Each structure stands twice: as C-alpha cells, then as structure tokens.
Structure 1
Amino acid sequence: MAKHALCIGINNYPGTDSDLSGCVNDATDWADALGERGFSVTRLLDRAASKAAMVQSIDTLISGAVKGDTVVLSYSGHGTWVPDTDGDEPDGRDEALCPWDIHDGQVLLDDEVHELFTHRAAGVRILLISDSCHSGSVTRGDDSDLDAGMPRARFLPPAVWMKADALPRDTARPARLFGGFTRAGGDLLLAGCLDTQFSWDTSFNGRPNGAFTYYALKTLTTLPATASYEYWFKEIRNYLPSTRLPQDPQIFGTRTTRRFKVFV
C-alpha cells in the first residue's frame, strides 16, 4: 500500500496584481509533513503550476494509484468562480482553482477535478486539502500566533482575470460548503472556509502562511497516533474561526471516511 501526494502552491499570479505570500510555504510545509509520514511527494510551485501541469500531475497521481493506496492533493492559492454551463450548480456558479496562468483565462473547474478523480481505481483513498476561496464573519478561536496586520483573501474575483465582455452577472449565492468541490469524487475534503467566506493569506512569527494550513499543521504535530480526520478537524476548530481570521474550516466525507486514521 503506497502513499502519494501532490502539493501545489501559487504566490505569483502575473497580470492580476493579486499576488499572495504564503502559498509556496504552505505547499512546502505540506510536502515536508507528508514526506515524514511516508508519502512520495511531487510539488508544483508558482510558474510550474500552470493549468496543463496541474491537470497532468493530478491525472498521473490518481490514475497511477492502485487498490490500497492513499492519495493526498493539497492546493494553496486563489480560488474563483465562473458561470455554470451544465446546470449542476444550485447557485449557478462553478467553483474553480486558479493556476499560475489564470491571466490567460486558464481555470481548473470543480467539474474538471471531478472528472480527474473518476480515473482512480477501486480501493484508492483520496484526500483533497484546499486552502483557498470565498467571505464571511464570526468571532472566536485562538489567533495569538497571528502577526499584526491585515491578512489577504485568497479569492480572485472574475473581474480580475476575465475580459470585460465575458463577465457574468453577479448573483447572490447561498451558504454552501465549498461549492462543487464537495462532489469532486474523493473520499474526504478538508477546506479552509465555507463557500461564502475567504481563506486568509497571512503571516505567523514573521513567516507567510495560509491560516488554515498553519493551524492544520500545528495541530497535526500533537495528534495521537490513532487520531482520525474527524478528531484532527475538531482540533483545528480550536483555532479557526477567530476574531481576525473569520473563516470556518470544513470537512466533507462520510462518517466512515471521517473516521479513517490520519494519513494512513
């Protein structure tokens, strides 16, 4: 039973004036943590994380796994949305990840991720970790590690990268869990926030990171050896949301998959 991971981090979004700071560190930190747990890890950072490269790498990761293997895909970068064209989104929008070449209109839709995930063999476990996307507010949790200053949202509005004549009408959207990525086809989704919120790009102890990634990895180091994903998620929720980081982390999966042992 092999363990494979792909860690994607994009700070540099040329042509958008919307660069981030902590995503490459996120990907590096996830890669290090997964490597320590026996995963073979591939990284795609900044320019290397074009849409074509992301699609190819995800497809290689998924289609190369066999029964009993565990696959982890982590993504840190901007999220966005486009109008839904096939009628499978109740809010009329397809959620999307933003590759490095988003300035050329290259987006990775939730529908495309779903299609890639269908290439897996029976018995392959898939975990998607996404530290990106959308906006809201609450006040609780411990954010004492957070450096002073306002964090930046990991959301790229369509107006930043779409041509003016292609921009959709801005419609209200319901509060749902991370849009279509809940249906991507993996066993578990760990997401940095609700679909209606932002995941924050910020800094801890002088080093840029995504808030969700920072606290997920901070709590990972203290988990018992037999801890489940459900237990890990509850530990993360001790830190998020907080007054300065108004994002609600999400876990999506069946009762059985939530009780899988972490990274086993």
Structure 2
Amino acid sequence: MPTHSTARASSAKHKAVSLHIGLNAVSGDHYGGWTGELAACEFDANDMAAIGKSKGMKPTLLLTKKGTRANVLAGIRSAAKSLGAGDMFFVTYSGHGGQVPDVTGEEDDKQDETWCLYDGQLIDDELYFELSRFAAGVRILVLSDSCHSGTVTREGPPARASVADATPQQRPKLMPRSVALRTYRDHQAFYDKLQRDVAKAAGKSGVDPDTALASVAVSERRTALVKKFKPAVILVSGCQDNQTSMDGDHNGAFTEQLLSVWNHGAFKGNYANFHAVIRSRMPATQSPNLFTLGTAGQFLAQLPFTI
C-alpha cells in the first residue's frame, strides 16, 4: 500500500496548463464591417488566468487581436500534445457567441454554435473534435462566458435580461442575426469546407456536439455517444441555449458571479456545488448551464481548479 508521502509525490507529478481567450472586439474585415465592441472580456480572461496561476497552472492569454482562430487552435493542440492521464487543461472564453448553418447534420435548418474569434468563428464541431484528441484521463475544464443561441427551429428570440435586471453598462454577448447571416454569406465556402473537414477527420466516431451535450446527462445512449471521447470534460456556459450572456464594465455577468463565489479560493465545494451556487445568484434570464463529456464523475466531485 502506498504511503501518504508516496501519494502526495504521485499527485504532485500531475501538471496543468490554461488558455484564456477574451475579445473586446472582432475584425470587421471578416464580419462584414461589424466589430462587436464589448468592455469586460479582456478583464474576464485576465481574472481567469489569475485563478489558474494561483493554482499552479501555466496560463496563456489571447486578448482581442491575438484571439485568432490559428492562435486558439494552436493553444488547444499544444495542450493536447503535452498532457497525459491525470493532467488538467483549463480553457476559458469571453466574447460573442454566433451561429453558422450546419451543413453536415441531418436537419437542413440546424445551426452550429460558434465562438466569435478575432478573424473568424470557431465552430462547436471543431472544439468538440479538438478536445476529443486529448489523452485518456486528462481533465478538461471549459468556462464559456458567451451566448450560444440554439437552433433556428426554436421559437422566439433568445431571452434577454429584463429592464429590471439590466443596466446601461450591460451588453448582450450575441452576434446579431443579421451579422451572422452576412458573415456566413461572405465566407460560406470557408465555413462549409471547415465543417466537412472536421466531419471527415472525426470519421464514424464523430458525434454532433449538440446531440452529445443534450443527451449525455439523461440518455441511456450516453456510452454510445461518448465511447470514443477519452478525456473527462466539464463545460460550464454562461447561459442556457435560448438566453443571452451579458457583458459589463468590469466583468461579464457570469464571470463576475463566478469570481464572487470562488472568493479567492475560499469556496470549498465541488464543481456541481460551484455551478449551483453561481446559478442561484444569476437572474432567471441568464442561467449558467453545466455539461459533461466522457467519464467525468470523479472530476465533478473535485474542488474547482484543483490540479
């Protein structure tokens, strides 16, 4: 039986890296002249990096103009190459959420959710595929303070903060539908090829992330959906699919409450408790969501940000 000192030494060998993306604007060259100015996303990224650093992680910051598709993908792929079983990858995004039509799914009118990076959108299919390439046993924590509006089949627009909840300083982190349509029109060949390339690379083991995330917690098909997904992933998003995440002057609404609950490390619960307390502090119009992929039970039971 290993001694306590041996157990501590083994635990100390685990490593963690973190990637923090915060965009206060995007390039109008790609988004049809729209620059999507926000105020607090760089603050969010810096504050998340500070948490990672305080826990012994090596953080990488990608702020606004550095938040490009190439830099974000390079950061994720570098982590995938360097981390093994028991290690941790902590990635955060603060910025606009968008959509492009899904050209590889079964429904003609389905939309893929995106992160609006500086020079182009990162599609959820890409993010799911990149995370699936991590080694078995790697723990991945994703915190996304952005809007992820659902499919166009949902009736009505995303729920927004009411007049009572909102302040003059708040801005929705949602790329306007007109901008999304224009951006896709101007770059349709790029986004269509991107989706097909990801689907081809994933092969038969590829699973649509919307389907996986919607089903993993409640469906008996969980094993079939994620059997090829080797790492353990916890994803906490800033709002539900039919809601809007709000920007602020100093932090996004979700990040502000996360920092308050974390309280410089005074929080002592697990990830599930952490999400529940943050959600209890948010208005009904913005309810953070919790998803898992892979075998994440033990991960969920840990103190947040623990290496």
Give 3-state SS (helix, strand or coil) of 1:67's partner.
coil
Stretch deviating more after TM superposition (71-80 or 114-123): 114-123
Q: Residue type of the partner of 2:291?
A: F
Q: Which has the larger radius of gyration?
A: 2
Stretch deviating more after TM superposition (90-99 or 29-38): 90-99
Matches within 5 A, 1:143-222: 148-160=167-179, 162-163=181-182, 166=185, 179=210, 182=213, 187-203=233-249, 208-221=250-263
2:97 pairs, out of 79, 86, 109, with: 79
In structure 2, the partner of 1:6 is 19
- Aligned pairs, number: 239
Give 3-state SS (helix, strand or coil) of 1:159's partner.
helix
> What residue ranges of structure 2 are gaps of 5+ in the alignment?
1-13, 29-33, 150-157, 189-208, 215-225
| Shift in alpha-carbon separation, 1:226–1:18, aligned structure 2, 3 A | closer
For the Cα contact (< 8 Å) 2:161–2:244, is it kept in 1? no
2:278 pairs, out of 236, 247, 254, with: 236
Percent identity between matched residues is 31
Per-residue CA deviations over 1:21-60 (Å, capped at 9, x if unaligned) read 1100000000011111111111100111111111111111
TM-score normalised by the chain length of structure 2:
0.70
Q: Residue type of the partner of 1:4?
A: V
Partner Cα distance (1:194, 1:181) in 2: 16
Matches within 5 A, 1:21-36: 21-36=39-54
Partner Cα distance (1:247, 1:27) in 2: 20
Q: Residue type of the partner of 2:257?
A: Y
Q: Does 1:250 align with 2:289?
A: yes
TM-score normalised by the chain length of structure 1:
0.80
Give 3-state SS (helix, strand or coil) of 2:280's partner.
coil
Per-residue CA deviations over 1:72-104 (Å, capped at 9, x if unaligned) read 110001110111111167961110111111xxx
Q: Does 1:95 align with 2:108?
A: no
In structure 1, the partner of 2:10 is none
For the Cα contact (< 8 Å) 1:223–1:232, is it kept in 2? no
In structure 2, the partner of 1:174 is none
For the Cα contact (< 8 Å) 1:95–1:181, is it kept in 2? no
In structure 1, the partner of 2:305 is 263
Q: Residue type of the partner of 1:209?
A: N
Partner Cα distance (2:242, 2:138) in 1: 31
| Shift in alpha-carbon separation, 1:180–1:9, aligned structure 2, 3 A | farther
Q: CA deviation at 1:126?
A: 0.5
Per-residue CA deviations over 1:169-217 (Å, capped at 9, x if unaligned) read xxxxxxxxx94793896511110000111100013xxxx2111011001
Q: Residue type of the partner of 1:149?
A: P
Partner Cα distance (1:55, 1:181) in 2: 22
Q: Residue type of the partner of 2:170?
A: P
For the Cα contact (< 8 Å) 2:76–2:130, is it kept in 1? yes
Per-residue CA deviations over 1:127-181 (Å, capped at 9, x if unaligned) read 1110001421588xxx7xx8x425101011353255378289xxxxxxxxx9479
Write 1 or 2 for the structure with the bigger share of helix: 2
Stretch deviating more after TM superposition (185-194 or 122-131): 185-194
Give 3-state SS (helix, strand or coil) of 1:221's partner.
helix
Q: Residue type of the partner of 2:290?
A: I
Partner Cα distance (1:47, 1:23) in 2: 12
For the Cα contact (< 8 Å) 1:82–1:158, is it kept in 2? no
